[in-house]
Amino acid sequence: MIQDCILCNPAPENLIYRDDKVVVSHFPSAVKAGHVIVGIASHIRLLEDAPMEEFLAAGRALKTICETMKGILGCERFYILSVGDRDHHFHFHVIPKYESDPVFGPHAFSPAGWAGSLNTDPPVPADPNLNQKLHDFLSSTD
Ligand SMILES: [Zn+2]
């Protein structure tokens, strides 16, 4: 547990739910009402390092939260993203999207938006066999 981590130690007024696998809290710097974060219980930065049972619990919580908040808030849907640049404890942001809100996708994926600030030159060449390797791995797991 990290004392200054917003998921390990959320402010009491922000904490919505916690058990031994998942934590749900209002995001302290919410962009709008209903902006919550859903994290694994362990202070682990990367999804690929997270215990599977905690990730699955976070996924269940994420679905339940969206179903419940949609009924309460009356929003159209949710933007769900994981950033991890500042808070190094794996979590998803859940942000209500109302019909009247502008759409985020064209901003995020256009050269004028977030995509435009990404370095598109990878440090190593893309693996031409990536699709097949992923397919084979996914086919071999339960
Ligand atoms: Zn933490």
Mean pLDDT across the chain, nearest whole number?
93
Q: What percent of the chain has pLDDT over 90?
A: 75
Q: What is the mean pLDDT of residues 41-53?
A: 97
Specify the pLDDT at position 142: 63
Confidence label for 23 from pLDDT (cuts 50, 70 and 90): very high
63 C-alpha to center of ligand 1: Å?
Answer: 22
User: d(Cα 62, Cα 129) in Å, to the nearest integer?
Assistant: 33
87 C-alpha to center of ligand 1: Å?
Answer: 8
What's the pLDDT tens digit per position in 70-107? Answer: 999 999 999 999 999 999 999 999 999 999 999 998 88
Q: What is the mean pLDDT of residues 45-73?
A: 97
Question: Which residue, among 73, 96, 92, 74, has the nearest Cα to 84 in the 3D structure?
Answer: 92
Angstrom distances, CA of residue 101 to CA of 78, 104, 105? 11, 9, 12
50 C-alpha to center of ligand 1: Å?
Answer: 12
User: d(Cα 86, Cα 5) in Å, to the nearest integer?
Assistant: 10
Confidence label for 121 from pLDDT (cuts 50, 70 and 90): confident
Specify the pLDDT at position 41: 98
9 C-alpha to center of ligand 1: Å?
Answer: 7
Residue 120 scores a pLDDT above 80: no
Domains of the chain with bracketed CATH? 15-119 (3.30.428.10)
Confidence label for 128 from pLDDT (cuts 50, 70 and 90): confident
23 C-alpha to center of ligand 1: Å?
Answer: 10
Looking at per-residue confidence, does 107 or 41 come out higher?
41
Confidence label for 1 from pLDDT (cuts 50, 70 and 90): confident
43 C-alpha to center of ligand 1: Å?
Answer: 4
